[in-house]
Amino acid sequence: MMIAIPDVLNAEQVARVRAIIDAAEWVDGNVSSGRQAALAKRNEQLPDDSAAARQAGGIVLDALGRTALFIAAALPAKVLPPMFNRYAGGQAFGTHIDNAIRIKGDFRMRADLSATLFLEDPQAYDGGELVIEDAFGTHSVKLPAGHLVLYPSSSQHRVEPVTRGVRTASFFWIESMVRDDAARRTLFELDGAIQALGARVGQGDAAIVQLTGVYHNLLRRWANS
């Protein structure tokens, strides 16, 4: 399931994050790449152990914890600390699939979902679309600053060359409580239907209570932790 999640960061939060990371020292993006990714990846990255990355990442994580749509769609068990990259001058990232397991020090997690949080308005740069391929076709994504796209880490994807301006973003991975993408989609759709119906008839309605029970029993059956 691929989903765009608007307004994870508001304008003030985007400005705070940009002030932190723009003043920091950037390095070649391949410092964190595997052998195959290094062949396709041309960008700059904020060192993930830098003070700037930790401070800006904390702002992103706090915002994610308050974003109901992200929690409903991802059902997060673990979130890798957010990282930051930027593309300019024709830089791009060719077609690839993210590693299944992400490791940072003693922290280890399965990457079920990938996320890109855009930190530059699309009018400020040309190119830089995140192109995601799935069973339903090819999707080109270029969102306003503060908006996030969430998609299965098993998807082939790429970043098109940036031919004007600078594309700046945060990226990270999520281990979901529900490993199976189809099951996670079913839970997300059921939750959305319950919320919409509850707004019309009231959350105390007997059918809403019953459907909520169905949701939690499915989550109990499918959750890994």
Query: Binding site membership: which residues?
Result: 96, 98, 157, 167
Provide the greatest CA pair distance for the chain. 59
3-state secondary structure of 113: strand
Binding residues for 2-oxoglutarate: 167
Binding residues for Fe cation: 96, 98, 157
Rounded Cα–Cα distance for residues 113 and 173 (Å): 6
Strands 137-141 and 130-134 turn out to be: antiparallel
Rounded Cα–Cα distance for residues 96 and 156 (Å): 5
Rounded Cα–Cα distance for residues 177 and 77 (Å): 5
Rounded Cα–Cα distance for residues 118 and 162 (Å): 14
Residue type, 57: G
Judge contact between 130 and 142, C-beta under 8 A: yes
- Residue 44, Cβ neighbours under 10 Å: how many? 18
